[in-house]
Amino acid sequence: MSTMNVSLPDELKTFVDERVERDGYGSNSEYVRELIRRDQGRLRLRQLLLDGLASEPGPVADDAYFAALRDLVRSAG
């Protein structure tokens, strides 16, 4: 695992320390890793949404569509 040093103003360091204590993180590093993972997930979700916007429209999801799905699930059952 690589190491990274981050300089923070006192106000942010206090905020991080409080979050670590309150939310039960084992260390400041664990908290920062969690923030980075959440950011990665947010970026993945954003890309999926953009991909969906750029894709061709799918079937109309009306009452008949969902009725057909329910019938399919029941018959597979």
Q: How far is CA 58 from the centre of its chain?
A: 24
> What three-state secondary structure class fits 29?
helix
Report the distance separating Cα 42 and Cα 8, nearest Å.
Answer: 24
Q: What residue type is 66 in one-letter code? A: F
Quickly state the pLDDT bin for 77 (edges 50, 70, 90): confident
Query: Is the Cβ–Cβ distance between 17 and 27 less than 8 Å?
Result: no
Domain boundaries, the chain: 10-76
pTM given for the model: 0.71
- pLDDT reading at 59 higher than 90: no
Mean pLDDT score across all residues of the chain: 96
